[in-house]
Amino acid sequence: MTKNKPFSKEIILLENVEEVADNIIKQIQTDVNKNLKRFGGVVGISGGIDSSVCMALAAKALGPDNVLGVMLPEHDSSPDSEMLAQELADKFGVKAIKEDITGALKGFGCYERRDEAAKRVFPEYDPETWKMKIGVRQSGLYNNLPPIFSLTIIDKDGNEKDKILHTKEYLQIVAASNFKQRSRMSMLYYHAEALHYAVIGTPNKHEQEQGFFVKYGDGGADVMPIGNLYKTQVYQLAEYLGIPEKIIERTPTTDTYSAEQSQEEFFYQLPFNLMDIYWYGFENGYDPAEVAEVMDETEDRVKALFRNFERKQRTTEYLRMSPVRSYYQS
């Protein structure tokens, strides 16, 4: 892309939210009914802003009777997720069902494999009495260093311990945790195929382009209604569509680990309202000096942010790649 207007903090805002919503709704109708020739859509709903907006858009595009909301809790899920998801479905007249995937995850050894790695870092860690999460240190954001991940465990009294994760333990914890997203995807496709529906994906622009999704997990869907929208724009749509205030006000979370954890803490390193503006400048070719002046930041720090964005795109490109079909052609 190329820049076509002066950079500003408001540059990210949708100028006509109603028009954008109508266009997405029409595209869902075309994709689901005409191109995919499906009767309706299935959406995994978690009480988060992205899935809520996608469900509302699907209900308006396909009719609430032709949309199924699927709540997919597991052992580590917050009870708020199910409560808010049901409130959302009720408001838009969409049928919602609950599929607890804890048993499937136990069968895959999800918790066991994750906790095995955590105990190598903290031998005292007991999943029955401690909670855990992993997060990225903020130290590498402006100094052109790769991300450094740490493991935090929290006892029943709220006392925390934190250590930097070595690569082996980090990879094992993430690989085990990714069973959650892939199990959810499998369940969504079960219901979609049983009803001859399409799976409505919920990732936004940042999740797609920075690689904050699981390949063949939450990245697996038939249509991605908000895949080109910044988080700020998703919130604009949420207000326009009438998403319940409790969902709009909820802090975006991964809802993956037993301890509470924000998306900023786990991956993005910046609050979305700032990240959206910087990313817009990055992907539209704005000069870092111009961005820095608008954001009251130093040019060097903006350049570092842009390098950070570029690194994330480069190192997660494999997630967006299609499978290699063949190495040989006769």
Q: Which two tokens stand for residue 121?
A: 């870092």
Token pair 């311990």 is at which residue?
161
Helices (H), the chain: 17-29, 49-62, 79-92, 102-108, 110-121, 167-195, 205-210, 231-241, 245-249, 263, 272-283, 288-295, 299-315, 317-320
Q: Is 196 helix (H, G, I), strand (E, B) or coil?
A: coil
pLDDT at 265 (0 to 100)? 60
pLDDT at residue number 93: 98
What's the pLDDT tens digit per position in 294-320? Answer: 999 999 999 989 998 898 889 889 888
Please give the span between the terminal C-alpha atoms of the chain, in angstroms, as a whole number.
39
Task: Identify which of 222, 236, 243 has the alpha carbon closest to the alpha carbon of residue 28.
Answer: 222
- CA-nearest of 245, 244, 264, 242 to 253 is 264
The mean per-residue pLDDT over the stretch 211-232 comes to 93
Mean per-residue pLDDT of the chain: 91
pLDDT at 1 over 50: no
| Cα–Cα distance, 20 to 25 (Å, whole number) | 9
What is the average pLDDT across 48-57?
A: 96
Whether the predicted pLDDT of 42 surpasses 50? yes
3-state secondary structure of 257: coil
Which run of H or E residues covers position 136?
strand 131-136
pTM of the model: 0.92
Max mean pLDDT among 135-144, 187-196, 259-268 falls in 187-196
pLDDT in tens, 147-197: 788 999 999 999 999 999 999 999 999 999 999 999 999 999 999 999 999
